[in-house]
A and B are shown apart, each in its own frame.
Chain A
Amino acid sequence: MLRLRALRARRGEWKGPEVNASIGEGSVVALVGPNGSGKTSTLLAVAGLLEREGSVEIDGVELSSIDRRTLRSRVSYVPEDPTSYLVRNYVLDEVLAGPEFLGMDPGEALRRSLEALEAVGLRERADDPVEHLSGGQLQRLVMACSLVTSPSVLLVDDAVSQVDSDGRKAIAEAIGEAVKRGTTVLIAVSDLERLPLRPDSVIELPHDLEEELRLPELLVPKNSAPRAILEAKGVRFGYPGAGELIKDLNLRAEAGEVIGMTGPNGSGKTTALKLLTGLLRPQRGKLLLNGSRPSPPRSLYMPQNPDPLFTERTVWGELEPLVAAKLIASPDAELKAELERTPIGHLGAGSRRVLAAYLLAARRPSVLALDEPTAGLDRRNARLIGSLVREAASQGSVVLVSSHDESFVESVSDRVFRVEGGRLVEL
């Protein structure tokens, strides 16, 4: 039994929403709220990883009175961003880390680790380097890491946003097995439809904790750029030591087109986007953007984790050069002051993703590639990304969108491809 009484997460001056709940053994409860509503902070507070007000009790015992090692063996936290959970370089080693830290017998630790990998469909990848896994595979790996200690409370933070349908099924089954063994699951999600399994009950968080990030409108260019034509013929590529991932990539896309890409985890969607924007060089084949090799700033790529794109402290710091270059409208004094006092580090994950896409779209690239742009976003932010995609296309960019959110891909794309066997197959 997990009991939350007047629980409020705290980060300095900021306080999260108050949560009260009694969650029975073997129950699944969804914590639902939009981006910025405090879901992550609440889960971290329940896990004892963030300051809080109120109380958290596990089987009638207050969290703060449980010794550290027991607490960690009983409460597992699965973050939304899998890279923020990883501490090792190989798949099996990563799963073994938890049992090792808790002082488990090596043989038992190995048995459990392999079982956990099997449960999330990664048993065959046990000896692979973690960096060879795709974003979705990393989320499955983190789930295995969390289940390996057979926790009594499992806290899941929207951790299936980049997982393909097979992976979601595997994760749902793995959580279902844990629930059968009596694990209590609290799973945070911005959209109930994205839950991998049916909850027994729902806790809704209020919607007005984070103000919407207001951004100046993109300006329409006065001089029309030459119409972009992106062509890939027989492109092949493989990472060192990982075999050939892209085997025969063919695509012709013209200015104003939105190309959607879907496909299972690890199929090569990210690699295809990096090739098509010139961040990776094809090992064979022809890849041309208006007759020459695509490269930034003509072709821009937003990674799954967009944080490296931010080089300034505040939102205004990022926008100022765009205003000076007349790529975006100059904000009025009130909005400018608001943007000046908004540190990027204080934005929620959803707002940061929207800002990153905006910063790239504003530069009017010939090719704009967005990698999992709606991962973890609520409907409002997903709509904003959709508008940016359409606006970039209307201003003459070829827009490439890779996502597991098939309904989003279908809604914004003119053509949709599935990345399969290292090739693009039009649907």
Chain B
Amino acid sequence: MSSEQLKVRRSRIHPLAASVAVALIASSITLEQEVLGSLPVMATSLVLALLTVRRASLIAVWALRFLPMGLGLGAFAFLASGGKQIELVPLLLLRVETMVMGSMLLAYGVESWELAYSLRSLGLPGWFSSSIGIAHVLLRRSLRALDEVIAALRSKGLIASPLHQLTRVGVITRALVAESLSSAEKVSLALEARGFDPEEWRPIRPVPFRFWDLLAIVVAASVFLISALL
């Protein structure tokens, strides 16, 4: 037994580094007004996600799930422009996909309570830091619940083909919301049962910074500067 076990970091990227990198990527892709300029930002987002999450299949699944949203937003923008700006379709698709890949750093690269520990180490109040950590726990559960919900709906014949996952978004969303609410209730009871008090709560261990965290911020900041200046 060693106190070294209290120094082990679970997050693949430091939660603060992930937050900064995602914010920079989001800003960069929002600044870009052209498809060609958006491509390097998306590529950066993809590379950071691949190096952090290390599961290409997972990234592909989420990119596909958000494909209809990107296309839908693009189509809406195209129609709103009076049918004159067709380039809005790929541009908005790239924006959505870039955000999805960037968000994966936070969703899959960061351990929920280490996010709370990191925020607390910045001097933020315990109730705020722990709320963000708990919200992250619920997010992770909802991501897992989505697969369970889809499997359940397939079992009941409500989703008979992969296409139905796109066309029956309403049914999936309703089931997912119900499952997420139930999950939130369970987490709340679990925290209460284990004596959690956000006002008194103190992190039990530090979350060390590593070279990769710094590199991720530098890469995201470089892309942001290029997008802002060019």
Which residues of A pack against B, CB within 8 Å?
47, 49, 68-69, 71-73, 76-77, 79, 83-90, 92-93, 96-103, 106-107, 109-111, 114, 126-127, 131, 145, 240, 279, 295-297, 300-303, 307-309, 311, 359-360, 363
Which residues of B pack against A, CB within 8 Å?
1, 3, 5-6, 8, 10, 55, 57, 111-113, 134, 137, 140, 144-145, 148-149, 151-158, 160, 171, 174-175, 178-179, 182, 186-187, 189-197, 200-205
A85 touches B5 (CB 8 A): no
B157 touches A87 (CB 8 A): no
Other than the known A79-B193, A89-B137, A363-B156, what 5 A-B pairs have Cβ atoms closer than 8 Å?
A69-B200, A77-B193, A88-B112, A311-B152, A311-B156
A73 to B3, CA, bound (A): 23
A88 touches B113 (CB 8 A): yes
A47 to B194, CA, bound (A): 11
Q: Which residue on A lies nearest to B8, using beta carbons?
A: A127
Contact of A49 among B57, B152, B192 (CB under 8 A): B192
Q: Which 9 A-B pairs have the closest CB atoms?
A: A72-B195, A296-B154, A84-B186, A100-B204, A308-B152, A308-B148, A297-B157, A101-B196, A309-B152
Contact of A309 among B5, B155, B200 (CB under 8 A): B155
Contact of B6 among A101, A106, A359 (CB under 8 A): A106
A303 touches B5 (CB 8 A): no
B149 touches A96 (CB 8 A): no
B204 touches A87 (CB 8 A): no
A90 to B205, CA, bound (A): 14
Describe B's contact surface by its main secondary structure.
helix
B190 touches A85 (CB 8 A): yes
A96 to B8, CA, bound (A): 13
A297 touches B154 (CB 8 A): yes
**What are 29 contact pairs spanning A and B, CB under 8 A?**
A47-B193, A49-B193, A69-B195, A69-B197, A71-B195, A83-B186, A85-B190, A87-B196, A88-B113, A89-B140, A93-B10, A93-B113, A97-B196, A103-B200, A110-B5, A111-B1, A114-B1, A296-B155, A297-B155, A297-B157, A300-B155, A301-B151, A303-B151, A308-B149, A309-B152, A311-B152, A359-B156, A360-B155, A363-B157
A311 touches B194 (CB 8 A): no
A301 to B144, CA, bound (A): 17
Residues of B within 8 A of A102 (CB): 195
A290 → chain B closest CB, angstroms: 17
Q: Which residue on A lies nearest to B136, using beta carbons?
A: A89
A84 touches B201 (CB 8 A): no
Residues of A within 8 A of B178 (CB): 311
A303 to B154, CA, bound (A): 13
Contact of A87 among B1, B148, B155, B194 (CB under 8 A): B194
Residues of A within 8 A of B195 (CB): 68-69, 71-73, 98, 101-102
A99 to B1, CA, bound (A): 17
A97 touches B10 (CB 8 A): no
A296 to B201, CA, bound (A): 46
B112 touches A89 (CB 8 A): yes
Known: A98-B194, A311-B171. A107 touches B3 (CB 8 A): yes
A76 to B190, CA, bound (A): 11
Residues of B within 8 A of A309 (CB): 152, 155-156
Residues of A within 8 A of B148 (CB): 303, 308
Residues of B within 8 A of A307 (CB): 179, 182
A110 touches B6 (CB 8 A): yes
Q: Which residue on A lies nearest to B161, using beta carbons?
A: A295
Q: Which residue on A lies nearest to B57, using beta carbons?
A: A240
